[in-house]
Structure 1
Amino acid sequence: MVKKSLIFCMAAVMAFTLAGCAGGKNGNNGSGGQASPSGGASASGASSPSASEKPLDKVTFTYFNGVAGAKDINTNETTIGKILEDQTGVNFKIEHLVGDLNTKIGTMIASNEYPDVLIPDAAIEEVLNAGGFIALDDLIEKYGPNIKRVYGQYFNQMRAADGKIYFIPFSSVVNQFYPDPDINQGAFWVQRRVLKEAGYPKIKTLDEYFKLIEDFVAKHKDEDLTGFIALTHDWRFFTTANPPMHLEGYPNDGNVIVDMNTLEAKTYAAADSTKRWLQKLNELNAKGLFDKASFVDNYDQYIAKLSSKKVVGYFDYGWQVALANNVLKDAARADPTQDDYVYFPLPVTFDGGKDQYLDPPGFVKNRGIGITVSAKNPERIIQYFDNLLKEENQVLRSWGIKGETYEVNEQGRFYRTAEQIAKIDEKFNDKFGFTYYDWDWPQYGTNSTFADGNAVAPNFQPEVFQMRLTDGDKEILGKYGVKTYSEMFSPPDDRPWFPAWGIPKEQGSPQQIWETKKEELTKKYFPKLVLAKPDEFEKVWQEYLGQFGKLDTAGYEKWYTEQIKAVVESLKK
């Protein structure tokens, strides 16, 4: 499973990387040309309120984000949010998840009282079925020329079963697809000092990776190190469940791996690959190298441990561990001796063959932002969304202000000076608003370009990426003969359906029920399998298989195969 990506897509990225989202077959905006930079007109001739017009009376809307990790804030307390408020008169009071997502969303549904704007994350189907979102079609037609420009090619995929659009996905690739030079998707990470001490070996297999960790911990017994840690908290359990597909050489399609030739979807939760992965963790645990608290720690505790410099290695998605990685990188910029504690991503597979950690172009359509039935003035909200999608405001939310957070050379290329890069740390990101406008809004996808060819994401711009590299970055990349982290990984193969986990499933459907029961089983048995005595592992695995065999996995795989083939066929038309 995933998040931002895309949890950019955060990530991705969820990456969010959670993650980039695909444009047309040619990687542009789907029309064969570039998107209009002004966004001032649409097929209907509608236009958004201009930033130069007198703003309307100021209003504050409530906004709940079903993802934990950031502090609550008013958008107008940030530089970006204040500029957007000056343009539109709109401020958002953002509240983030504390506690259990399903409990929080369930309370909203039971009371039929919602914030004005809602991101229910993994509980989005529950909100849809409860009628918590209003339909956006008429609002987009009247007030959304830029929404049409950016998302229009995907409107049919965004429609619910009744043919209406109830939420806007977080991003869509506009213009050309720009590859990420960094790693915001999956990887096996290890402290740089481990590779340095071992002479910078080329680690390609899981056995090599764990041997590297074991040897390092053995040599540093006085440091009280944790060899390997995992994340299992709440919906983030996928971080521990997903590695088998990556170790087999597949990208993050969720609960299935998809054959490139036949398009057949197969689950792997009870496959030999998952057994092999869990048995490795079991071996680590028996050697005292696995953090048993991985099965009880929450996300904040996990991030704190990664930031502590005591954890040698882990698997995760770059977008999900950005908070910890940025803390370590900021420390290394301030004091180069701390560079040893920064994590380095490795494209590990079972057999050392071709990896597929890097996401291909895709469109995540089962996550997004919606306006609820409690909203008093949805027109103002949709106008804010549309205004945000103007190209000049997409420059603002990603690059900032010319002369303050970026510059433009004579060729029109965006870049940042060393001084600007140095000041843009986590604290600055929070105050300026980069943190709060990085994801969770309608926006150009991370892998997009502007109409003039500049990368939407500053760190994707070659000039900026190279400038951001510290001497430590350059040294370790040089040891591996590359200039970017992504060069360590295999290029992604084109997968028109990607990501499969983004294919919507109706609440209460056989597919949704299968996923719920599967998750219950994995959350129950994976801890048992990892923490069992090695000679009892097989017994517990057989017990798990017996329970898993009661699920209608064949029906789930058949449905997914049909959906994937339908997507591929639709793109041929």
Structure 2
Amino acid sequence: MYRSSKYSKRRVFMKKRGILFLVVVLLTCMTMSVFAGAQMETKTGEGETYVIKMYSKNFTGLGSSTPVGKIIKEKFNIDFEFEKFTGDWQEKASLWLAAGDYPEIVYIEQNLDLLRKYINAGVLIALDPLAEQYAPNFLSFYKEALPYMRLNAQDKKIYYWPTGSPEEKEMFQTPFEMVVRMDLLKALGYPKIPENEKEWLNFFIEAKKKVPTVDGRPTVGFSMPLAEPWAVALLPAMSRTGRYQYLGGGKMVMLDCDNNTVDFILKNEYSKEAMKFFNGLYRAGLFDKESFTDKGAQTTEKFNTALILGSIYIKWLSEASNPTLNESGKADMQYIGLPFRLESMNENNDARYNRVMLVRNFDHYAITKKAKHPERIMELINWICTDEGQALLGWGIEGIHYTMEGNKKVPTPEFYNGFNNDPDYLYKQGLGIFGFLTLSTKLDDEGQSAVVELDPTVRFDSYNDEVKEVYAKYGWENYLSPWDKYETKGIDVTEWGAALTLNASSPEAKMMTKIADLHNDATIKLIMAKDDAEFDKIWQDSVNELKALGGEQVIQLIRNQYAEIVAGLK
């Protein structure tokens, strides 16, 4: 389903405004940062305060200790107590279900298979009757998404909400492509931005020569947190910047956007070319060997000290380090996003496709049967689904965090001071920790994001002189200017995302598990291949093994499920 005309108009609107936008904290990171857990307790006093314990990567303490959380408590007498969590969320949710020790609100990250296990186990509360009685705004907010949400349950009831939906942020944020230290551009004399993988390899070779150290330590040419399973799965999918898009979900599948069909990444020639680029970095001594054991925390530490010259896709990590670099006197070493294209894409005049989704199959929240007051939770969500509730979660409190000028929100000087100088300011204010209650990522009719830190104008106003100097040198009017030469389209991948879910007890699901292991193993071997001959052998051996594992059977099932979903929604 194509929506290119709609999104092209938005892009033109943004370009006319001349806005610049560099995302520091993605909504993805925000909604991923809060994880429901533990038990709920009731406090007595003036009325009954409903305290829900949550897990968070970025915030600890009572939600009511923040201005936003205080408003929520005052309105609904509900508070959230956040505890630190640093483990694997999918593993934790699986253990909860196996032990029958699940919390009152459960978070399931990305894994629709696990979500269905929770539903089939009968431990989640069907939201239909609750929403009809207590949360009609919830039904309106998710009106277009409800048919897809019902697909995950055999009884076709609603058992969860996919926060961050509908998702359109890929259409107006810096693309998930190359990230580089911007001082490299100056060191190399502000060269032409590389237009293909071969030029990018030469760029990093020359950049390493120009910037061999930082603070007396050797710089790292290129780094990725490959100890994270998602990073290993994703790397070959960096062929996603042309006609193909990665569908995610841990299914190792690419969507051919021009022909609306799917196949495995290991059969994609663009993916092979992308992996040759990473192999070239490795053979040139530029690919950080610690990448194979680094997780996100280690990569973040390297970004925070400007050790990394470049990376790909993980802009939420690189951009989150920019305030730290600014504070430590390394403002000229901040990271910016730039296009990554393959030579074949340019030769074939491939358009770039950005995903949009009615249902963002990543952050799923559900109320379990252990909830003492599910109706009160739904009453809160009902209000969150109003314009007033969305404004509170996304922008904060009027008069403190923003003022209104006509129909537009304008951040206050107090907000900008905190936002520009305190990396934890948003969390301290309660912005970015309550997105699990439901928060959209759409642009409104004024061109403003539902989330203040994703808003283009806010990003422009928060840029420092060093960033503006780079943009001025290249004549870039806004953050999308480096991509202006490439045709960009939006494609709705909601149906394909739903079609990726396989019955956990099916033969195809077991095949897919083995295929995922093959994919991840091949990724590491391809990066480390000693020469072209070994690389080609690893690739062909992997393609052959994919076939032997039943790859054709699995991909045909996914295609069939897609056809059934489309037919069923008509």
Instruction: Determine which of 261, 264, 267 is the counterpart of 1:267.
Output: 264
Q: 1:330 and 1:214 mapped to 2: Cα distance?
A: 26
Partner deviation per Cα, 1:498-538 (whole Å, 9 max, x = no partner):
47335444333455434322221122232222224225333
Distance 1:84 1:60, change over 3 A: same
Shift of 1:96: 5.5
Partner of 2:407: 412
- Displacement of 1:380 in angstroms is 1.7
Residue 446 (1) aligns with residue 441 (2): yes
The two structures have a TM-score, normalised by structure 1, of 0.81
Aligned residue type for 2:104:
D
Does structure 1 conserve the Cα–Cα contact (< 8 Å) formed by 2:149 and 2:359?
no
1-structure distance, mates of 2:332, 2:309:
11
Q: Does 1:478 align with 2:487?
A: no
Deviates more, 1:499-508 or 1:547-556: 499-508
Gaps in structure 1 of 5+ consecutive residues: 1-7, 19-53
| Corresponding position: 1:79 with 2:64 | no
Which residue number in structure 2 is paired with residue 139 of structure 1? 130
1:449-496, Cα deviation, whole Å (9 max, x unpaired)? 28x875423355554333222222222222333222123234642323
User: 2:332: which partner in 1?
Assistant: 340
Matched, 1:388 2:384: yes
Matched residue, 2:15: none
Listed as ranges, the gaps of 5+ residues in structure 2 are: 1-22, 34-44
Residue in structure 1 matching 2:482, options 488, 507, 512: 488
Task: Give the CA deviation at 1:309.
Answer: 0.2
Q: Which amino acid aligns with 2:441?
A: T
Q: 1:491 & 1:222 partners in 2: Cα distance?
A: 38
In structure 2, how many angstroms separate the alpha carbons of the residues matched to 1:111 and 1:325? 39
C-alpha change, 1:418 and 1:155, in structure 2 (3 Å) is same
2:555 to 545, 551, 557: 557
| 1:276 aligned residue | 273
Q: Which residue of 2 is the match for residue 306 of structure 1?
A: 303
The aligned counterpart of 1:500 is 496
> Alignment partner for residue 237 of structure 2, among 240, 243, 258?
243
Amino acid at match of 2:306: K
Matched, 1:171 2:164: yes
Do structure 1's residue 214 and structure 2's residue 212 form an aligned pair? no
Q: Is the 8 A contact 1:63 1:118 kept in 2?
A: no
Aligned to 1:350: 342
**Runs of 4+ deviating beyond 6 Å:** 15-18
Q: Does the Cα contact within 8 Å between 1:143 and 1:382 map onto a contact in 2?
A: yes
CA distance, structure 1, for counterparts of residue 396 and residue 173 of structure 2: 21
Matched, 1:227 2:221: yes
> Counterpart of 2:460?
466
**Length, aligned pairs only:** 515
Counterpart of 1:327 (choices 313, 321, 328) is 321
Structure 1 letter corresponding to 2:550: D
Change (3 A) 1:103 1:401: closer
**Match status 1:205 vs 2:199:** no
1:563 Cα shift?
4.1
Measure how far apart 1:406 and its partner are: 1.1
How far is 1:298 from its partner?
Answer: 1.9
Per the normalisation by structure 2, the TM-score is: 0.81
Shift of 1:417: 4.2
1:189 paired residue among 179, 182, 186 = 179
Instruction: Report the CA distance between 1:282 and its aligned residue.
Output: 2.3
- Alignment partners' CA distance in 2, 1:502 and 1:487: 33
**Equivalences for residues 19-58 of structure 1 within 5 A:** 57-58=48-49
- Quick one: which amino acid aligns to residue 415 of structure 1? V
- One-letter amino acid of the counterpart of residue 89, structure 1: N
Separation of aligned partners in 2, 1:367 and 1:509: 25
Partner of 2:393: 397
Instruction: Name the one with the larger helix percent.
Output: 2
Contact 1:204 1:346 in 2 (8 A): no
Q: Give the residue type in structure 2 aligned to 1:134.
A: I
Per-residue deviation, residues 297-342 of structure 1 (Å, max 9, x unmatched): 2221122122220100111243x42xx423323542x57x623221
Distance 1:485 1:568, change over 3 A: farther
1:292 aligns with 2:280: no
